[in-house]
Chains A and B, each alone.
Chain A
């Protein structure tokens, strides 16, 4: 029973107005194609959760999809400010809920493991814990000390991009694995996008690399180049030039809207987007292979 469907169908069936969405990936494997599809389908009032909102949420906020963001680092990584989310926050037009990285990831860890909350060692800084009432403390029953805790985060839908998956959604990731596994297990529904759809036998040939089992996945979509301008380790490079260019585009609302018109509303899907990027960009992002030494699972 294949779960393989087009990304447009997966978004239509799994992302609803008002949902808490977690589009996963720490710099790596960010599912831009899915974000763009959500924009095209005009979803509204979403709560967008990510440790690093990155350009994908800047674009979704610019397109009017979001009511609220939940984050731990709101910047354009390596470049500076995440201009649109930032200006919406400063103007009071966007709600936000903020954690440190470990607080954010601990919320997902609790959600993914079925726990009500997650304890952390104290950081003592205090101001963020005072500003965000979801930070609480409990008494460690063993030492009697106060321990900070954060509540489980259970997104309505997680969107995860992977290098390869089979048609049932058994998915393998390598390179920076960020919070993909945690987001998938924490969420009610999971949309998987993959660079390659492979036979189940390929997955079974290297089971240690499977981070997400198919039985928690609702939809599998074959979307090559899904993460551009983010990257997919071993498939294509991060488009740092675009991250720098976005800093200029996003500083001007007309330029931002014309970007969305041309590159999101103006294309039907990721394939058309990738073709539109052109050979020069494609060549710039191409990488040389660097294979790992094989491992031997043995015959038993």
Chain B
């Protein structure tokens, strides 16, 4: 399909970068979303503004940050503020265009579990918890999520709903008085899911070489497929070069799967 082989992490990162628009103010997480934003800045979105929940606005990291509070985010940034301010003045006020989400489980309406597998009071596996996820999902104008495509990640039912996607459908989300458009794309290593008119995540694109059958087999609910199924453009040599040479030369995030 392409001349240059690539890893699934590279595939996710490149497809996430393509979702970003020039001038977007993005609430960035560490790992692949951070790489996606930096890739977008070096390609089609030079005026992307990166906001970190640690309270950094307009970061220009000179090195790959391991943690979300790395000092490289501060040096050369436009502004630094308190945690209360970043969540209140920036996120709650509606000043964030894009939020990147993560989670152990995502359901068909884009709701997320980042809290627990099993019962909350008697956890089987205790996950880190919301962090800023509850607020980003509710108040960023557009939310995106990158994840490997598997039944474990896409169960029929969440063990715990940490963050709102479309709740039980678009009507419930809009009645709840949340900001923004909710979970507008989930990028997996097989393709891209987007909400239909009711908010149900639907397969709208496949990556080169992936099949509908693979996507269905790896989804925990009966996956709907869009009438006009797109194929994403394979990662270009230029996108791969920027990722490998400039952004993650040691392959900390890009080497393996997602």
Q: Interface on A for B, CB 8 Å cutoff?
A: 26-28, 51-52, 71-75, 77-79, 81-82, 86, 89-90, 92, 98-103, 105-106, 108-109, 120-128, 131, 145, 174-179, 181-182, 231, 233, 237-238, 240, 243, 287, 290
Bound together, the chains give a CA A172 to CA B67 distance in angstroms of 24
Does B126 lie within 8 Å of A74, measured CB to CB?
Answer: yes
Does B130 lie within 8 Å of A233, measured CB to CB?
Answer: no
Does A101 lie within 8 Å of B128, measured CB to CB?
Answer: no
Identify 15 residue pairs between A and B in the complex whose beta-carbon atoms are under 8 Å apart, listed by A's number: A27-B67, A79-B66, A89-B123, A90-B123, A102-B91, A105-B84, A123-B134, A127-B160, A128-B162, A176-B71, A178-B82, A179-B84, A182-B84, A231-B71, A233-B74
- Binding site secondary structure of chain B: loop
Does A74 lie within 8 Å of B82, measured CB to CB?
Answer: no
3 nearest A-B pairs in the assembled complex, by CB-CB distance: A27-B69, A75-B128, A73-B131
Does B130 lie within 8 Å of A176, measured CB to CB?
Answer: no
Interface residues of B in 117-150 (CB under 8 A from A): 120-126, 128-135, 137-139
Extra A-B contacts (18), CB below 8 Å, given A73-B128, A121-B92: A26-B69, A27-B67, A28-B71, A72-B129, A73-B130, A77-B68, A77-B69, A89-B123, A92-B122, A100-B134, A102-B135, A123-B164, A125-B162, A176-B55, A176-B74, A177-B82, A179-B82, A231-B71
* Chain A residue at minimal CB-CB distance from B132: A101
| Chain B 40-65 per-residue mask, 1 if CB under 8 angstroms from chain A, else 0 | 00000000000001111000000001
Closest CB in chain B relative to A226 CB, distance in Å: 16
- Binding site secondary structure of chain A: loop
Closest CB in chain B relative to A55 CB, distance in Å: 11
Does B163 lie within 8 Å of A125, measured CB to CB?
Answer: yes
Bound together, the chains give a CA A164 to CA B257 distance in angstroms of 44
Given A92-B122, A98-B129, A131-B120, A78 and B66 contact (CB-CB distance below 8 Å): yes
Bound together, the chains give a CA A98 to CA B124 distance in angstroms of 17
* Chain B residue at minimal CB-CB distance from A211: B82
Bound together, the chains give a CA A240 to CA B252 distance in angstroms of 13
Closest CB in chain B relative to A140 CB, distance in Å: 11
Closest CB in chain B relative to A186 CB, distance in Å: 11
Q: Which of B83, B126, B131, B135 contacts A178 (CB under 8 A)?
A: B83
Closest CB in chain B relative to A238 CB, distance in Å: 6
Does B54 lie within 8 Å of A178, measured CB to CB?
Answer: yes
Closest CB in chain B relative to A292 CB, distance in Å: 10
Does B87 lie within 8 Å of A176, measured CB to CB?
Answer: no
Q: Does B111 contact A (CB under 8 A)?
A: yes
Bound together, the chains give a CA A122 to CA B124 distance in angstroms of 29
Q: Which residues of A contact B31 (CB under 8 A)?
A: 78
Q: Which residues of A contact B124 (CB under 8 A)?
A: 90
Q: Which of A72, A89, A90, A181 contacts B130 (CB under 8 A)?
A: A72
Given A125-B164, A128-B162, A178-B54, A100 and B130 contact (CB-CB distance below 8 Å): yes
* Chain B residue at minimal CB-CB distance from A235: B71
Q: Which of B73, B84, B88, B134 contacts A125 (CB under 8 A)?
A: B134
